[in-house]
Amino acid sequence: MALVPSSSPLIAEVDMGTDYSAPTVRATVVQASTVFYDTPATLDKAERLLAEAAGYGAQLVVFPEAFVGGYPRGSNFGVVMGNRTAKGKEDFRKYHAAAIDVPGPEVDRLAAMAGKYKVFLVMGVIERDGYTLYCTVLFFDSQGCYLGKHRKIGAAIWGFGDGSTIPVFETPIGKIGAAICWENKMPLLRTAMYAKGIEIYCAPTADSRDLWQASMTHIALEGGCFVLSANQFCRRKDYPPPPEYAFAGEEPAPDSVVCAGGSVIISPSGTVLAGPNYDGEALISADLEVDMGTDYSAPTVRATVVQASTVFYDTPATLDKAERLLAEAAGYGAQLVVFPEAFVGGYPRGSNFGVVIGNRTAKGKEDFRKYHAAAIDVPGPEVDRLAAMAGKYKVFLVMGVIERDGYTLYCTVLFFDSQGCYLGKHRKMMPTALERIIWGFGDGSTIPVFETPIGKIGAAICWENKMPLLRTAMYAKGIEIYCAPTADSRDLWQASMTHIALEGGCFVLSANQFCRRKDYPPPPEYAFAGEEPAPDSVVCAGGSVIISPSGTVLAGPNYDGEALISADLDLGEIARAKFDFDVVGHYSRPEVLSLIVRDHPATPVTFTSASAKTDREVSHKP
């Protein structure tokens, strides 16, 4: 059964910090006690805590020293100089039984947890290697892979680690390593970790004294790294009662605090981002700004939306125009360029293709033939040329086209990366009004969101943007740069674009054509239904715009003519906006409202003799 955050969390989340500048990593240190002598129950508790932390958006979760296996606080295992008591030997037998093998089934379970909740996991364990125990930290990535371990170098009841287990792992969220408890007082060990470039320094501990905070702050400043120190909070009653488990000296009262926690997160500048917490079990979280240089500003992406008209019925000339516009945008430093709906192939504004109920005129059929001829095959030579343009000018390209698939046309958006590779396409799912006469309907197999070096990019076309379930599907895929090629130039369009930016916590880039009647062929070759506009009449006024996740208009709307409309996108705005509202994250209620997306291709005809081949082909289509 999946474990998810409930309305009554297992423990409280506290201290989220105040600076949400990107790029950020949400880190959580767990302050909680072991279920002593009961490793399966401890792993169950670990999973509940991990699920809760992931529910709050944690990407990295750090557990205390010896969380799995237990820290035998107060015990001396019956050891006196020259002797070990029978009771002490039995205590060690039980402690040895509660330890885990590395690798082993408990490690496999921890790896599965990390993969299930998509978090990087740093877990303190007692490792059993034959009859020697080690105080160890295990590392797992968010795909559920065990990365490796660090064994504590200096210890009493435990064996001594050596220099072969002082790893610093390079991960997508930063370089991560660990030193355990008083190892952190060893300057040469710290120096070795600094030399490996550690950025996120984990310090699982059993030291809850106030003085521990000074050491953690010093290490953050000395190493120029984030320090995440996780300790247990436990009372005497969290250990087995006497005589099964005996504290040396005076026996504490059951409710006595025997480890007060003090878990903390500290920035490279020595600022305490979260904690220290001495109040009880807790998830202590902060957003870490992982750029370790002196400039902590978020990365920016220069984006351009193109507002220009098609050369109608002339696809080669339209591609030539697209290249000129692309070259100009690249000259201004654009990294991402978005073209309008149906730029290649054309938006047949004002035409009704001779359709009335029950009839289609000969002129309308000829108009469709020419329109069909101006459309492009995907893949095809025009797609190859667009890919070459993207590679030539080193831009990510989002291009509205009319796609020809046999004798059915689709209003489609194509995506290309800056290396000149075609990434895939989105077919408009719901053409509007008379568009349904000339365009087919896309299905759930072409609702992509592409993960790129400049962000996660996808698109919805024109009035598709009014479909809340389609938008929700894209939000669920993590869209960050939401492209909205359109043919709607009304003022009201701006309200929809602003709402989507706020709702999705994403940048919205809406590109529309600006065109006059004379940008279409003259009558009678191309006829507008109803009254024929004057040649200079504006038939689409543009309104292209770029809006931030906070709803701020960064550029546009432009109603003046053809234009390149550009803005620098501060990707840090996404994290700041999602902190307010994450529609498919912390602001969702999946137990009440959920969405199923049928994302397989919907084909009208299937040939059983070719089903295996067809399935293979479909699985490799973008």
Confidence of residue 615 (pLDDT cuts 50, 70, 90): very low
Confidence of residue 1 (pLDDT cuts 50, 70, 90): very low
Q: Does domain 300-617 fall into CATH 3.40.50.300?
A: no
For residue 394, is it left (φ>0), alpha (ψ between -120 and 50) or beta? left
Average pLDDT over residues 158-184: 91
76 alpha-carbon distance from chain centroid: 47
Q: For residue 23, what pLDDT is reported? A: 67
Q: CA-CA distance, 271 to 274, in Å (whole number)?
A: 9
Please say if the pLDDT value at position 621 is more than 60. no
Average pLDDT over residues 7-16: 37
Q: For residue 452, what pLDDT is reported? A: 86
Average pLDDT over residues 574-592: 88
CATH for the 12-289 domain, from 3.30.365.10, 3.60.110.10, 3.40.50.620, 2.130.10.10: 3.60.110.10
Is 480 marked active-site?
no
Percent of the chain with pLDDT over 90: 74
Strand partners of residue 306: 564
Instruction: Please state which of the ranges 36-45, 57-66, 285-294, 585-594 shows the lowest mean pLDDT.
Output: 285-294
Q: For residue 10, what pLDDT is reported? A: 40
Average pLDDT over residues 223-227: 94
367 alpha-carbon distance from chain centroid: 45
Average pLDDT over residues 185-209: 93
Give me the DSSP letters along 103-121: SSHHHHHHHHHHHHHT-EE
Cβ-based neighbours of 89, under 8 Å, separated by 6 or more: 77, 78
DSSP character at residue 68: B
Confidence of residue 155 (pLDDT cuts 50, 70, 90): low
Please report which helix (H) or strand (E) contains residue 138, including its range.
Answer: strand 132-140
Q: For residue 550, what pLDDT is reported? A: 93
Distances (CA, A) of 226 to 236, 247, 282, 549: 32, 35, 20, 28
Helix axes 39-55, 105-117, angle to 10 degrees: 10
Distances (CA, A) of 45 to 28, 50, 60, 68, 279: 16, 9, 17, 10, 19
pLDDT digits (tens, 9 = 90+) for 12-42: 333 333 333 346 899 999 999 999 999 999 9
Average pLDDT over residues 213-241: 94
Please say if the pLDDT value at position 293 is more than 50. no
Q: Which of 13, 106, 183, 341 is catalytic?
A: 341
Q: Which of 65, 127, 382, 480 is catalytic?
A: 65
Closest CA to 272 of 261, 262, 280: 262
Q: For residue 19, what pLDDT is reported? A: 35
Average pLDDT over residues 154-164: 84
Task: List the chain domain ranges.
Answer: 12-289, 300-617
Exposure string over 382-398, b if 16+ CB within 10 A, otherwise e: bbebbbebbbebebbbb
Q: Do domains 12-289 and 300-617 have the same CATH topology?
A: yes
Token readout for 195 is 């030399």
- What one-letter code names the amino acid at 320? D
Closest CA to 178 of 272, 161, 274, 260: 161
Give me the DSSP letters along 464-515: GGG-HHHHHHHHHTT-SEEE--BS--STHHHHHHHHHHHHHTSEEEE-B-EE
Q: For residue 295, what pLDDT is reported? A: 34
Is 341 marked active-site?
yes
Q: For residue 120, what pLDDT is reported? A: 95
Q: CA-CA distance, 576 to 551, in Å (whole number)?
A: 12
Q: For residue 616, what pLDDT is reported? A: 41
Backbone φ and ψ of 383, nearest 5°: -65, -40
Distances (CA, A) of 307 to 382, 420, 524, 556: 21, 23, 27, 11
Please say if the pLDDT value at position 620 is more than 50. no
pLDDT digits (tens, 9 = 90+) for 424-469: 999 999 999 999 999 999 999 999 999 888 999 999 999 999 999 9
Average pLDDT over residues 234-246: 92
Give me the DSSP letters along 374-398: HSB-SSSHHHHHHHHHHHHHT-EEE
Please say if the pLDDT value at position 114 is more than 90. yes
Q: For residue 21, what pLDDT is reported? A: 36
Give me the DSSP letters along 139-171: EE-TTS-EEEEEE-SS-SSSPPP-GGG--EEEE
Q: For residue 390, what pLDDT is reported? A: 93
Strand partners of residue 425: 414
Q: CA-CA distance, 596 to 121, in Å (whole number)?
A: 30
Q: For residue 77, what pLDDT is reported? A: 86
Query: pTM of the predicted model, to two decimals?
Result: 0.54
pLDDT digits (tens, 9 = 90+) for 71-106: 999 888 888 788 888 898 899 899 999 999 999 999
Backbone φ and ψ of 151, nearest 5°: -100, 135
Exposure string over 86-110, b if 16+ CB within 10 A, otherwise e: eebeebbeebeebbbebeeebbebb
What is the SS3 assignment for 462? Answer: helix
Percent of the chain with pLDDT over 70: 93
Confidence of residue 589 (pLDDT cuts 50, 70, 90): confident
Token readout for 389 is 């343009």
Pure H helices in 210-291: 211-223
Q: CA-CA distance, 375 to 393, in Å (whole number)?
A: 24
- What one-letter code names the amino acid at 230? A
Q: CA-CA distance, 119 to 24, in Å (whole number)?
A: 14
Cβ-based neighbours of 290, under 8 Å, separated by 6 or more: 23, 24, 25, 173, 174, 199, 200
Please say if the pLDDT value at position 299 is more than 90. no
Q: For residue 328, what pLDDT is reported? A: 95
Q: For residue 291, what pLDDT is reported? A: 54
DSSP character at residue 75: -
Please say if the pLDDT value at position 351 is more than 80. yes
Token readout for 297 is 């500003």
What is the SS3 assignment for 605? Answer: coil
Q: Higher confidence at residue 4 or residue 202?
A: 202
User: Cis ω on the peptide bond leading into residue 276 (within 30° of 0)?
Assistant: yes
Average pLDDT over residues 505-522: 96
State the chain's mean pLDDT as an integer.
89
Q: Higher confidence at residue 159 or residue 614?
A: 159
Q: For residue 367, what pLDDT is reported? A: 94
Q: For residue 619, what pLDDT is reported? A: 38
Closest CA to 114 of 68, 59, 65: 59
Please say if the pLDDT value at position 118 is more than 80. yes
Q: CA-CA distance, 394 to 419, in Å (whole number)?
A: 6
Q: For residue 249, what pLDDT is reported? A: 85
Q: For residue 424, what pLDDT is reported? A: 93
- What one-letter code names the amino acid at 461? I
Cβ-based neighbours of 188, under 8 Å, separated by 6 or more: none
- Sign of torsion, CA 55 59 64 67? positive
Q: For residue 610, what pLDDT is reported? A: 65
Token readout for 476 is 């669920």
Q: For residue 100, what pLDDT is reported? A: 96
pLDDT digits (tens, 9 = 90+) for 546-558: 999 999 999 999 9
User: By the 8 A CB rule, do 149 and 127 touch?
Assistant: yes
